[in-house]
Amino acid sequence: MRHVGNGPRTGRARSSHLRDGARRSIDRGSPGTRGAFTALVALPLALVAGCAAPIDDSWRSAPRLPYRTTPPPESAPFVHCNDRTGHRAGEIPWLFGGSCLCNPSVEVIRDLRAHGASPTWTVDTLSAYYRSQGIATVDEHRDCNNLCAYGPHLRKGGRCLVPPTPGTLNWEEVVTGEYALPPWDVERVVALGGPLQPRGIPGAPLPPPVEESAEGVPAEPGDAGTGPTPDPDDPAGAPDRPRR
């Protein structure tokens, strides 16, 4: 029987009345209400479509490029050259009393020899000397901004010779030599044994150790283990080592 008047409605009629009221409320709602409802429906669809898009990870297999030369900062005096600024001719490594913070290279060896280093010093010799002092170069790792286990930078008391990242505070502190270590970097320097102090250019590198053969007789020159004799006229060292 059809309901007439304002008396109580049945359960089915009440449900139908509520649905009709909600539909009319949405249809007659403000633009903001309709927009919010549309956004709630569209957002899950957009997320699903975004997840289906392929991810470009080709950069992972891209070859490493040489450091790009970066001009020194203009806000402070430029003191120390490094791999990113390029070696400044005439400078020798900071560890030997100079101002160069470049990694071992042919140019660095040439200036070392010009300042009295033995002509037997090569790129390999300098790299080995740094390793003996606990210093990590770009031969071991790169692009750490001296936040690695060997950090901070050698100039700031650490053992890392990787050039700092341009545009950072660490970059300006390293190339200018003006810095103040925060407490956590002080702890890192202490854990590494304290800062290394500049010293004079070392003498001629020590000859390779004499190895004994299986019979207990010292190995003859040229046997495995003695290594090639450095060429005094070749700063790069062994001829099969690519020049940097």
Query: Residue 26: is its pLDDT beyond 60?
Result: no
Calculate Rg over the CA atoms of the chain.
35
Long-range own/partner contacts, residues 191-194 (CB < 8 A, 24 or more apart) = 192/134, 192/150, 192/157, 192/158, 192/159, 193/134, 194/157
Task: Give 57-95 pLDDT, tens digit per residue.
Answer: 554 454 444 444 555 555 557 799 999 999 999 999 999
pLDDT for the residue numbered 194: 94
Share the mean pLDDT of the chain: 74
Q: Where does the pLDDT of residue 203 fall: very low under 50, low under 70, confident under 90, or very high at 90 and above?
A: confident
pLDDT for the residue numbered 78: 78
Query: Residue 196: is its pLDDT beyond 60?
Result: yes
pLDDT for the residue numbered 87: 94
The amino acid at 15: S
Higher-confidence residue: 164 or 45?
164
Mean pLDDT to the nearest integer, 216-240: 50
pLDDT for the residue numbered 151: 96
pLDDT for the residue numbered 91: 95
- Where do runs of H (alpha helix) occur along the chain? 11-27, 31-51, 106-114, 123-132, 169-176, 183-191
pLDDT for the residue numbered 59: 45
Task: Give 99-137 pLDDT, tens digit per residue.
Answer: 999 999 999 999 999 999 989 999 999 999 999 999 999
Q: What is the Cα–Cα distance from 162 to 136, expressed in whole angstroms?
A: 8
Q: CB–CB of 195/218 below 8 Å?
A: no
Residue 73 region, left (φ>0) first, then alpha (ψ -120 to 50), else beta? beta
